[in-house]
Amino acid sequence: MNKTRVYQIAEEVGMSNKDILAKVKELGIEVENEKSELEEEDIELLLDLIKEESGNSNVITVEGSLTVQNLSDALGKSVNEVIMKLMKMGTMASINQEVSFEIASLVASDYGFELSEGNDKDDEEELEAIDALIEIEEDSEEDLVKRPPVVTVMGHVDHGKTSLLDAIRQTNVTSSEAGGITQHIGASEVMVNGEKVVFLDTPGHEAFTSMRARGAQVTDMAILVVAADDGIMPQTIEAINHAKAANVPLIIAINKIDKPGANPDRVKQELADQGLLVEDWGGDVISVPVSALKREGIDTLLEMVLLVAEMEELKANPNKRAVGTVIEAELDKGRGPVATILVQGGTLKVGDPIVAGVASGKIRAMINSKGKRVKTAGPSTAVEILGLSEVPQGGDQVVAVPNDKVARIISEKRQQMAREEMLKSNQRMSLDDFFSQMGDADVKDLNIVIKADVQGSVQAVKQSLEKLSNDEVAVRVIHGGVGAITESDIMLATASNAIIIGFNVRPVPSAEMLAKKEGVDVRTYTIIYKAIEDVQAAMTGMLDPEYRDEDTGKAEIREVYKISGVGTVSGCYVTSGKIFRNGKVRIVRDGIIIHEGEIQALKRFKDDVKEVNNGYECGMSFVNYNDIKVGDIVESYITKEVERKLK
């Protein structure tokens, strides 16, 4: 009996191996892969099924990702025709751009086709199978050895965190930080009594909440810096909450004890109000008075770090494939994607294939906290790595994988799934926005494109600006990315009427020229406060104007004349202020406003006048109103536009 392989049948009927395998399995025939052989009777059943389904010839499946090119190929139409069809539907897309399944289905139905979603389950199963290859290995007790502690330094802005680290490292970083504020996470290693300690320096401003939260996820303990002359501040409370959420021990460093207004006891009382009772007040939280400036108390603080580390019994297995976390990442002009990572288990080596979120690559070089190249990095080691395909997100897990192929496949699959998720998300979001604006037509959007030097700063600026949204003006960050401001950023801003904010980056010359040509507002900053202030100013300018009535004067009606062809004219006496001819009036009778309107004519004797002052008589008539009586009061007022402020 003749047998035929699956891939041969696929070639004969003009279908993919994947689709043929799916149909074989649908028939209940057991096969392993495209090289499996089928009996004659099974082939007949398969061909009958294909013939039956081909009767419904208007069902199409797009091979590969749902790009405009692939969609046009499946429909048998030109790319330009499909792009025009999409434009009529309000969707702008280029030849290689992906569109959502919903939009593609509408295009297909316009041509009389039904679009099939294909079998995403196979992709998910394939990814799960590959992910199984990089599962983190379980450690047995005998494999674990003592590892150095990882310490996060947290606290309010200007309370001296960087100065404290400066004192610990005996280096000078503070002077180089813009505005004296740390702008993104750094990692450094110091030796304390012959033992290594890794310090993470997380920014103190509340805009960097997400980065600080990431710092707490990889840390073994946190040093909370509180200024003795300033006490607990909002960012201090945030830092306390992050440490509690991460369930890490806290050491309180009461800094600036050398300052005249220093009051450590007040700090301890405020800490107690936050549920942190220090040891000398009968609690279990370690506190150490320090002066980063005069380097006082630093040794005691470091001894406390080693004591807590010993109590925590920190251990890891260095003899397995490395696993760690991305602390920070950036796109370096000369070196490409660069990531600072903390190795948490195993040992990372130069040449290791790795996966970090959607990024992958082979490690070309590793640089330690002192700027020296190293070949290996064990547990609790912070290194900068080169060789990634793209910039990963801060907080992404880093895993060493068996080989380059596995790394590449995982990266590609994750990127594909991320793109599909983003497309679905964008589609949902645009519909939500549409219905939201239907319900509240007065809301205005301030669209912003953010570019920064590192990924953490993009997230921080985005989070900070979006918090400015209110009931009248919504801040929408339509794109955030790492690297210089490019022409594509300008084009995006032009299409969406957005402003571009650059944080520690500048536009490339061609982008600068295009921005001038297109009239795109590009602003660059090194301090986040300035960006917030400027965006607040822009939002204030978008607020609808507010008008306020301002009284200018009052007059009493003492005579009423009815003149044919003119109407009713009142003889008045101005009792206060001024009456203006171009102003508005309220007519009040017995304390009740009976009419609001405008003055038709204002006269002194027989002359038309623009205004009449207090203590003078005048004649007045009103637009479309004649029901006036002696004793009525005329209140004159003007309407002024008042500058609005954000609430």
* CATH 2.40.30.10 residue spans of the chain: 323-418, 546-642
* pLDDT of 454 strictly over 60: yes
Q: Please tell me the predicted confidence (pLDDT) of residue 128.
A: 56
Asked which of 77-86, 156-165, 432-441, 587-596 is least confident by mean pLDDT, the reply is 432-441
Instruction: Write down the residue that tokens 């001296």 correspond to.
Output: 160
Domain 323-418: homologous superfamily in CATH: Translation factors (2.40.30.10)
CA distance 617 to 396: 81
* Coil, helix or strand at residue 501: strand
CATH fold of 546-642 reads Elongation Factor Tu (Ef-tu); domain 3 (2.40.30)
| 285 Cβ contact list (under 8 Å, min separation 6) | 250, 251, 252, 271, 276, 277, 278, 279
Q: Which stretches within 170-315 are classed as H helix? A: 209-217, 234-245, 264-273, 298-312
When pLDDT is averaged across residues 59-68 and rounded to a whole number, the result is 71
Average pLDDT of the chain is: 80
* pLDDT of 257 strictly over 80: yes
pLDDT band at 260 (very low <50, low <70, confident <90, very high): confident
When pLDDT is averaged across residues 428-457 and rounded to a whole number, the result is 62
Q: Which residues are annotated as a binding site for GTP?
A: 155-162, 201-205, 255-258
* pLDDT of 127 strictly over 60: no
When pLDDT is averaged across residues 303-320 and rounded to a whole number, the result is 92
* pLDDT of 229 strictly over 90: no
Highest mean pLDDT among 208-212, 481-485, 616-620: 616-620
Give the phi and the psi of residue 82 in degrees, each rounded to 5. -65, -40
Please state the pTM of the whole predicted model.
0.54
When pLDDT is averaged across residues 269-287 and rounded to a whole number, the result is 89
Of residues 574 and 459, more confidently modeled: 574
* pLDDT of 617 strictly over 90: yes
When pLDDT is averaged across residues 320-326 and rounded to a whole number, the result is 89
Q: Please tell me the predicted confidence (pLDDT) of residue 5.
A: 80
Express each pLDDT in 349-358 by its tens digit.
Answer: 999 999 998 8
When pLDDT is averaged across residues 599-618 and rounded to a whole number, the result is 91
Q: Which residues are annotated as a binding site?
A: 155-162, 201-205, 255-258
CATH fold of 442-542 reads Rossmann fold (3.40.50)
When pLDDT is averaged across residues 587-613 and rounded to a whole number, the result is 91
Q: Please tell me the predicted confidence (pLDDT) of residue 434.
A: 40
Express each pLDDT in 560-571 by its tens digit.
Answer: 988 887 788 999
Task: Give the other-Cβ count within 10 Å of 65's Cβ.
Answer: 15
CA distance 24 to 49: 10
CATH fold of 148-314 reads Rossmann fold (3.40.50)
Token digits of residue 482:
């790492």
Share of the chain above pLDDT 70, in %: 82
Asked which of 144-153, 180-189, 464-473, 498-507 is least confident by mean pLDDT, the reply is 180-189
* pLDDT of 422 strictly over 70: no
* CATH 3.40.50.10050 residue spans of the chain: 442-542
* pLDDT of 216 strictly over 60: no
C-alpha torsion sign, points 356, 361, 363, 367:
negative
Helices 101-110/68-75 angle, 10° precision: 30
| 225 Cβ contact list (under 8 Å, min separation 6) | 153, 154, 155, 156, 159, 160, 161, 164, 253, 255
When pLDDT is averaged across residues 52-67 and rounded to a whole number, the result is 64
Asked which of 4-8, 55-59, 190-194 is least confident by mean pLDDT, the reply is 55-59
Task: Give the other-Cβ count within 10 Å of 194's Cβ.
Answer: 5
Give the phi and the psi of residue 526 in degrees, each rounded to 5. -120, -15
* pLDDT of 179 strictly over 90: no
* CATH 3.40.50.300 residue spans of the chain: 148-314
Asked which of 30-39, 130-139, 162-171 is least confident by mean pLDDT, the reply is 130-139
* pLDDT of 443 strictly over 90: no
Express each pLDDT in 398-419 by its tens digit.
Answer: 999 888 888 888 888 887 777 6
Q: DSSP of 231-265, one letter per residue?
A: ---HHHHHHHHHHHHTT--EEEEEE-TTSTT--HH
